[in-house]
A and B are shown apart, each in its own frame.
Chain A
């Protein structure tokens, strides 16, 4: 069991893309079978100006994409271990940390598996049932300051984090589907 607090991480909650100090650009989202999606990204220096710009670009691209709750650098064609998340507007969200970007993130603890249906902007025609932990502890660095943060996430935010960290490791939800009957054609497009 973790001995750290399971409360919301105030540093992450208080972070916003304005802290980056650069204007984000909207980038094109790449789709499977682009090989960049199946390749583990390089670890990055979170204080590198290129990383800071990438972080701003990811948030800007997420913002203009309807229903998008997270976007990884691989999805804009950059093989780097960076992603953004914002589940605050999603109806399945319980607790959350607002908008944030993490670099070199990894899941350090996970528990309480639940199955739910996921989609992905890079796999626009399919959805899949994926079992994921509903409670996770994730560690990564904030872009800009490079501050290392550890956050406890649950429910939909936990799912989003695992989906994005999978992207940075070169995995799609397709690699995690529960079985042959767990793949579905997408019926509604946001």
Chain B
């Protein structure tokens, strides 16, 4: 079996407008690159995209091909080569953590520190500020044998110290 094609991480950040994704992916396709994984969202109205593409092209060549995107100065593009990562089979359990309350500094850091202390791995994270309301939703893999009630107590205490509330729930996957 031949070794897999080199993997490149591309980020595009900046002022949103229609056509950014079309232009980015079009230029990558012209280089014969395959999109392996991507995510894109708006952060406070800013366009933010990260993607991994595979193919035999130098990072410098990809960067050069994407250069026109940055021409008007409102978008930043980066390209880095990254190694293949073997996704470890998740042993343990999956959880969703919600934290919400009045906005103040340190909510994310103090709550997720409790998760890190027990070896919990955050696999997806969204935070939003809507008016005075701060909201964090994190998807967490906990190692087998993790003391979930203890973590829940620690997270609740950390949240309570900041005057916010926290809820930790098991992910229910309904296989159909």
Chain B hits for A31, CB < 8 A: 131-133
Contact of B98 with A126 in the complex, beta carbons under 8 Å:
no
How many A-B pairs fall under 8 Å by CB? 70
- A56 CA / B65 CA spacing, docked (Å): 66
Other-chain contact of A171, B102, B132, B134, B167 (Cβ < 8 Å): B167
- A176 CA / B171 CA spacing, docked (Å): 10
Which positions 34-49 of chain A face chain B at CB distance < 8 Å? 35, 38
Contact of A180 with B172 in the complex, beta carbons under 8 Å:
no
Contact of A131 with B100 in the complex, beta carbons under 8 Å:
no
Subset of 21 A-B contacts with CB under 8 Å:
A32-B100, A33-B100, A33-B103, A33-B164, A35-B163, A38-B165, A113-B172, A126-B133, A174-B100, A174-B135, A174-B137, A175-B98, A175-B100, A175-B167, A176-B167, A176-B169, A177-B96, A178-B96, A179-B139, A179-B171, A181-B126
Which positions 120-162 of chain B face chain A at CB distance < 8 Å? 124-126, 128, 130-135, 137-139
Contact of B102 with A183 in the complex, beta carbons under 8 Å:
no
Contact of B128 with A126 in the complex, beta carbons under 8 Å:
yes
- A32 CA / B99 CA spacing, docked (Å): 12
Contact of A180 with B131 at beta-carbon distance under 8 Å, contacts A174-B100, A175-B167 already known: no
Mostly, the A contact residues are mixed
Q: Is B14 an interface residue (CB 8 A)?
A: no
Q: Is B101 an interface residue (CB 8 A)?
A: yes
Residues of A within 8 A of B (CB): 31-33, 35, 38, 113, 123-126, 131, 171-172, 174-183, 185
Other-chain contact of A126, B124, B130, B165, B167 (Cβ < 8 Å): B130
Category for how many chain B residues contact A = 20 to 34
- A125 CA / B135 CA spacing, docked (Å): 11
Residues of B within 8 A of A (CB): 96, 98, 100-103, 124-126, 128, 130-135, 137-139, 163-165, 167, 169, 171-172, 174
- A86 CA / B132 CA spacing, docked (Å): 29
Excluding A32-B133, A126-B135, A180-B139, 4 further A-B contacts by CB distance (< 8 Å) are A33-B103, A33-B132, A182-B137, A183-B128
